[in-house]
A and B are shown apart, each in its own frame.
Chain A
Amino acid sequence: MSVEPVRPVSASGPVSAPIVAVEGLTRVFRRRGAPALTAVDAMTFRIAPGEAVGYIGANGAGKSTTIKMLTGILAPTSGTARTVGLDPMRDRRELARRVGVVFGQRSQLWWDLPLRESFDLLAAIHRLDRLRATRRTGQLVELLDLGPTLAQPVRSLSLGQRMRAEVAAALLHEPELVILDEPTIGLDVLSKARLREFLIQTRREHGTTLLLTTHDMGDIERLCDRVLVVDHGRLAFDGTLAGLAGTVGARRVLVVDLDRPSEPLHGIPHTQWLGAEGEGVRQRLAFDPADTTAAAVLAAVSERVTLRDLSIEEPDIEDVVRRIYSASS
């Protein structure tokens, strides 16, 4: 498979300057007693203002390394990265005023102070005047439902509360570009939904550009209109989610719990039997939505056995990415 050409920014209107422009970006890590590792290898892509881009790949594929170079935390070995038109290494402080970043596993909050104080401090660091700071904090607190947690020290927040607080902290200064590295990692379903809803709304109201890395296909489906897939530091796919699914087939898995131990459900049309647990009480069937529907599979299963419960597993990003890799090799 080849990398799709960079899509035109806009069919009508003038083509605006890209908000992220990466050209031959390369980062090599030299390691003692081990061969040098090229984490990002001659990466080239552009992101237009207002786009929402999912940046996906397996662990160690080079996602975070790219993000770090885009935000001035890591110096490139060669090539260039321009973020909001700036050189991230040289213009770090100006960049920080215009970009909001959430690293899912790192906190930008003050651990031992009440959450409210983190917001006050960040507002001061970004030199928001009092009026704007109050208005913006109030807005984010309401949208992200942080009111009850404002007086609590950050260290006592739950993971879901903390992630919402991290996102609020990153968006306090109303950045034009928001970069989220694994924003929903470890969150429960409700927290994920809430966070996604907020990001969708932010984008709709402010035209904020989103770039996010994730392992969660739901994040991509709900939030992104473009997907970049990175593999061994190289761009393996650039296009829409539908295009991605069309290329590799977005298989779903139907998990059925039966009323009694049963024979393997082989031979259900357009499905592949993946396995069984509990002597066949729980069975797993994979199907491609392009060939059949969940309803049809279910009907075929019901003809043979009695169902007690069922669930459908969305395609795992790792799985989609693995297929891209195998398709491209």
Chain B
Amino acid sequence: MRAYLRTYWLLARAGFRRQATYRMALAAGIFTNSVFGVVRASILVGAVTGAGAAVAGYDALAVSSYAWWGQVLLGSVSMWGWSEVADRVRTGDIAADFLRPVPPYLTYLAVDLGRAALALLARGAPMLLIGALYSGITFATGAVEWVLGLTAVALAVAVGFLGNYLVNCAAFWLVEIRGLLMAYSVVATLLAGLYVPVHWFPEWLRIVAAATPFPSLIQTPIDILSGYAAGPAAVRAVAVQVGWVLALGVAGALATAAGRRRLEVQGG
């Protein structure tokens, strides 16, 4: 078991370091995140102020907090058409992954968790400061909520990765999946609550969102870390995330096994 964990720990560490080597990209990411955060916070706060009262439990501070926590998570939780596995299927480099005595989706998940950890520290944390200075941000109050909140971030990263991975697996059957990835991105970011909180959705869309893993990506960790959800509600939300990780993990394993039978690596 220890050797098993060490394997994935080292892979995660490699993901962390690999990301850390791209310093300029990090700096650019912080800048973009800040600008995007200012725009989002301004619009959301404006909407609540314009309404003249709290909307679905969000007053101006709560919705500002929502926007900025979203910026914290943005770089870590992948929803933006990650296509490494699909590219490797297309080029045939996926063969190298199948020549290792580990399941490829767990290997990539570990690397992605490492990448996400670096993004959270380097790109996410500065957003807390900028958010607090610009329009205000709230934090979870209890120690339990913090533990749950950070767990929720890790699970959000895992759900995000596994969702992306499943879409990537379509490359075993389809020649070109860029369109699919783009559609996935649009649906995922919307239903995750990246633009407006899921709690603001009309009833029917809330039901649709709840049936997907997407609210687990953004809405859940924000709810807990900002103090919007606490106690049993927070525990329930994390349990839902765990459920999605397991479901998507099994789906990923099945898709990989089925895809491997379909795989036709061309050339040398």
Asked if A105 and B268 make an inter-chain contact with CB atoms under 8 angstroms apart, the answer reads yes
Chain A residues 23-72 with CB under 8 Å of chain B are 29, 64, 68, 71-72
A117 within 8 A of B: yes
Asked if B99 and A113 make an inter-chain contact with CB atoms under 8 angstroms apart, the answer reads no
Say yes or no: A105-B261 contact (C-beta < 8 A), given A113-B14, A117-B14, A127-B3.
no
Say yes or no: A110-B18 contact (C-beta < 8 A), given A73-B95, A124-B11, A127-B3.
yes
Q: Which of A93-101, A141-149, A260-268, A315-323 contacts B (4 or more CB under 8 A)?
A: A93-101
Shortest beta-carbon distance from A22 to chain B in Å: 19
A3 within 8 A of B: no
Interchain CA distance A153-B101 in the complex, whole Å: 24
A125: chain B residues within 8 A (beta carbon): 7, 11, 100-102, 107
Asked if B93 and A107 make an inter-chain contact with CB atoms under 8 angstroms apart, the answer reads yes
Asked if A110 and B14 make an inter-chain contact with CB atoms under 8 angstroms apart, the answer reads yes
Per-residue CB contact flags for chain A residues 133-151 toward chain B (1 = under 8 Å, else 0) read 0000000000000000000
Residue of A nearest to B102 (CB): A125
B29 within 8 A of A: no
Interchain CA distance A122-B7 in the complex, whole Å: 9
Chain A residues 284-320 with CB under 8 Å of chain B are none
B126 within 8 A of A: no
Interchain CA distance A71-B102 in the complex, whole Å: 14
Contact pick for B99, options A64, A71, A121, CB 8 Å: A71
Shortest beta-carbon distance from B138 to chain A in Å: 38
B247: chain A residues within 8 A (beta carbon): none
A7: chain B residues within 8 A (beta carbon): none
A237 within 8 A of B: no
Interchain CA distance A29-B3 in the complex, whole Å: 40
A112: chain B residues within 8 A (beta carbon): 18, 21
Residue of A nearest to B3 (CB): A127
Asked if A93 and B102 make an inter-chain contact with CB atoms under 8 angstroms apart, the answer reads yes
B264 within 8 A of A: yes
Counting chain B residues whose Cβ lies within 8 A of the other chain, the interface size class is: 20 to 34
Shortest beta-carbon distance from A265 to chain B in Å: 39
Asked if A120 and B10 make an inter-chain contact with CB atoms under 8 angstroms apart, the answer reads yes
Shortest beta-carbon distance from B109 to chain A in Å: 14
Residue of B nearest to A31 (CB): B264
Chain A residues 78-123 with CB under 8 Å of chain B are 89, 92-94, 96-97, 99, 101, 103-108, 110, 112-113, 117, 120-122
Asked if B264 and A124 make an inter-chain contact with CB atoms under 8 angstroms apart, the answer reads no
A117: chain B residues within 8 A (beta carbon): 14, 17
Contact pick for A103, options B11, B96, B103, CB 8 Å: B96
Shortest beta-carbon distance from A127 to chain B in Å: 5
Asked if B17 and A68 make an inter-chain contact with CB atoms under 8 angstroms apart, the answer reads no
B10: chain A residues within 8 A (beta carbon): 120-121, 124
A121: chain B residues within 8 A (beta carbon): 10-11, 14
Q: Which of B21, B96, B261 has the most C-beta atoms of chain A within 10 angstroms of its own C-beta?
A: B96
B264: chain A residues within 8 A (beta carbon): 29, 74
Asked if B263 and A74 make an inter-chain contact with CB atoms under 8 angstroms apart, the answer reads yes
- State how many residues of chain A have any CB contact under 8 Å with chain B: 38
B265 within 8 A of A: yes
B6 within 8 A of A: yes
Q: Which of A68, A73, A94, A105 has the most C-beta atoms of chain B within 10 angstroms of its own C-beta?
A: A73
Asked if A108 and B99 make an inter-chain contact with CB atoms under 8 angstroms apart, the answer reads yes
A174 within 8 A of B: no
A181 within 8 A of B: yes
Asked if B6 and A124 make an inter-chain contact with CB atoms under 8 angstroms apart, the answer reads yes
Asked if A106 and B18 make an inter-chain contact with CB atoms under 8 angstroms apart, the answer reads no
Interchain CA distance A103-B94 in the complex, whole Å: 12
A182 within 8 A of B: yes
Asked if B101 and A97 make an inter-chain contact with CB atoms under 8 angstroms apart, the answer reads yes
Shortest beta-carbon distance from A97 to chain B in Å: 5
User: Which chain A residues have a beta carbon within 8 Å of chain B's beta carbons?
Assistant: 29, 64, 68, 71-75, 89, 92-94, 96-97, 99, 101, 103-108, 110, 112-113, 117, 120-122, 124-127, 129, 153, 181-182, 185
Q: What are 8 A-B contacts with C-beta separation under 8 Å?
A: A107-B96, A108-B99, A110-B14, A110-B18, A112-B21, A124-B11, A125-B100, A127-B7
User: Which chain B residues have a beta carbon within 8 Å of chain A's beta carbons?
Assistant: 3-4, 6-7, 10-11, 14, 17-18, 21, 92-93, 95-96, 98-103, 107, 260-261, 263-265, 267-268
Given contacts A73-B263, A94-B101, 9 further A-B contacts (CB under 8 A): A71-B98, A74-B264, A106-B92, A108-B96, A113-B18, A121-B14, A124-B10, A125-B7, A129-B3
